[in-house]
Copies of this chain bind each other. A is one copy, B any other.
């Protein structure tokens, strides 16, 4: 048994329940203008852009990644701001891992959200997340975060560094099969009439 010539050095992180990691190696931000085509009610999204500007922050991600090789893990926080576009709650673009069998942990640190999950062959699930709740998303599930509350929805995530993301799978299917919509004071799933099925 031997150690490789070069190993990664363990480093501390400080994870904020309000989102963000001291010790992150990367931060990216998504603004309203990046969300073209993501919400079913394009007119509602366009009205929001007109009112709030296309550079308004809608979600941001901090992560710590030290290498992309097999065995490494990426750890981060996702902070999704609240909002509605038509009757659809604010959401992330969503993805399937490029290496589809790679799982991902999401552990809610604050806020109130839903993890919306679908398989290419039409299975569907939705897991409600509040602080302390978590879901270990198995491989082969397309997944997206939805904020159904009125505060930022913050999750700690962890996934294999080699997993990669396929974002096009949702766009190419006319969106996910289900929408997460306003339902009284809560949320509900409703079928997305524009969904064409995921392409094989």
Contact A107 B15 (CB under 8 A): yes
Residues of chain B contacted by A53 (CB below 8 angstroms): none
Contact A156 B72 (CB under 8 A): no
Task: Known A71-B160, A123-B7, A127-B10; judge A132-B1 contact (CB<8 A).
Answer: no
Partner of A135, one of B11, B121, B132, B139: B11
What's the nearest-Cβ distance from chain B to residue A100, in Å? Answer: 7
User: Which residues of A13-47 are within 8 A (CB) of B?
Assistant: 13-17
Q: Does A101 contact B (CB under 8 A)?
A: yes
Residues of chain B contacted by A71 (CB below 8 angstroms): 99, 101-103, 139, 160
Residues of chain B contacted by A159 (CB below 8 angstroms): 73
Residues of chain B contacted by A17 (CB below 8 angstroms): 132
User: Which residues of A71-126 are within 8 A (CB) of B?
Assistant: 71-73, 75, 99-105, 107, 115, 117, 119-121, 123, 125
How far, in angstroms, from A81 to B26 measured CA to CA in the complex? 35
Residues of chain B contacted by A14 (CB below 8 angstroms): 132-134
Nearest B residue to A128, CB-CB: B12
What's the nearest-Cβ distance from chain B to residue A155, in Å? Answer: 12
What's the nearest-Cβ distance from chain B to residue A75, in Å? Answer: 5
Residues of chain B contacted by A60 (CB below 8 angstroms): none
Residues of chain B contacted by A64 (CB below 8 angstroms): 136
Contact A13 B135 (CB under 8 A): yes
